[in-house]
């Protein structure tokens, strides 16, 4: 990876580091307050993220693709939407905690619409927060807000599904006919790239597909690489 690309990929991180440096030089007290404020969110993150990662990996390995497609895929209709609302609203943690779970579900064939429902309800309709909302804003406020929010999510998840297609998602996360790598699962061991360098190469810590005409790939060698992968991150469908 070139240096320029590295900067581009980590632009946000670099900006935050620079702003902190600038603040610590100009107004150290403000900097200390910011770090203290961040500590709270750090704690919040540590309480939920490890368990989300483990749960996502377990679901990824134990729940077959067909089940996810059946319950959350394109043809799951109202039941799928309802399940998505339930998943989102019983969850805990900020919206980014939903990302690994949603990526895994997308990869296994959940529809974009249902993923949007999970992400949105994960952020604004939370059953764990019911008591809080009731306490601070009252029952009437809460009920009306929930009903309106659910209607809004139903509408805009449908719109998103019309605009965003599977081909717009990052390549390695697609459920495509052919070959794909589950980037979340890949541990960067490099076995696939050694087994079949015409199809796989290493980019940083992850394996990626070599751009090529799919018909030119040797089926036996691909299957060899699929079997060799220690974490079953490579998927192949004929």
Partner 1 sequence: MDIFTILIWLVTLIFLGVSFVKDKEKTKQALKISFAMGKGMLPSILTIIFAVGLILTILPPADIATFVGKQHVLVATIAASIFGSITLIPAFIAFPIVGTLVGAGVGVVPSVAFLTTLTMVGFVTFPLEKKEFGTKFTLVRNGLSFVFAILIALGMGVII
The single residue listed with the structure tokens 């449908």 is 158
Q: Which is nearer to partner 1, 47 or 218 (CB)?
A: 47
Cα dihedral: 45, 50, 54, 59 (round 10): 0
Residues 6 or more apart whose CB falls under 8 angstroms from that of 97 comprise 45, 48, 49, 52, 91, 122
Here's the x/- map for partner 1, 164-193, by CB under 8 A: it reads as x---xxx--x---------xxxxxx-----
38 part of the interface to partner 1, by CB under 8 A: yes
226 part of the interface to partner 1, by CB under 8 A: no
37 part of the interface to partner 1, by CB under 8 A: yes
- Compute the distance between CA of residue 196 and CA of residue 234 in angstroms, rounded to an integer: 12
219 part of the interface to partner 1, by CB under 8 A: no
Q: Which is nearer to partner 1, 70 or 95 (CB)?
A: 95
Residue count at the site for partner 1 (CB under 8 A)? Answer: 94
Looking at residues 84 to 123 of the shown chain, list those that interact with partner 1 (rule: CB under 8 A). 90-96, 99-100, 102-103, 106, 112, 116, 119-120, 123
Near partner 1 by CB under 8 A, which window of 65-73, 191-199, 208-216, 228-236? 228-236
57 part of the interface to partner 1, by CB under 8 A: yes
Are 209 and 186 a contacting pair, CB within 8 Å? no
Are 150 and 85 a contacting pair, CB within 8 Å? yes
Q: Please, what is the minimum distance in Å from the beta carbon of residue 190 to partner 1?
A: 14
Residues 6 or more apart whose CB falls under 8 angstroms from that of 137 comprise 145
């Amino acid at each position: 990876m070139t240096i320029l690309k590295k900067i581009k990929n980590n632009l946000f991180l670099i900006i935050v580091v620079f702003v902190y440096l600038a603040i610590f030089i100009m107004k150290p007290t403000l900097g200390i307050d910011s770090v203290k404020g961040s500590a709270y969110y750090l704690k919040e993150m540590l309480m939920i993220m490890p368990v989300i990662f483990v749960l996502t990996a377990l679901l990824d390995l134990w729940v077959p693709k067909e089940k996810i497609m059946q319950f959350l895929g394109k043809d799951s209709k109202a039941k799928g939407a309802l399940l998505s609302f339930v998943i989102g609203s019983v969850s805990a943690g900020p919206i980014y905690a939903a990302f690994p779970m949603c990526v895994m579900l997308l990869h296994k064939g959940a529809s974009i619409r249902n993923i949007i429902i999970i992400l949105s309800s994960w952020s604004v309709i939370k059953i764990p927060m019911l008591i809080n909302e009731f306490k601070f804003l009252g029952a009437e406020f809460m009920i009306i807000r929930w009903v309106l929010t659910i209607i809004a999510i139903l509408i805009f998840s449908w719109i998103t599904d019309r605009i965003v297609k599977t081909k717009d998602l990052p390549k390695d996360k697609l459920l495509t006919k052919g070959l794909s790598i589950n980037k979340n699962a890949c541990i960067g061991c490099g076995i696939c790239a050694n087994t079949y360098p015409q199809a796989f190469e290493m980019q940083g810590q992850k394996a990626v597909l070599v751009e090529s005409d799919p018909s030119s790939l040797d089926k036996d060698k691909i299957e060899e690489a699929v079997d060799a992968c220690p974490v079953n991150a490579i998927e192949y469908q004929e």
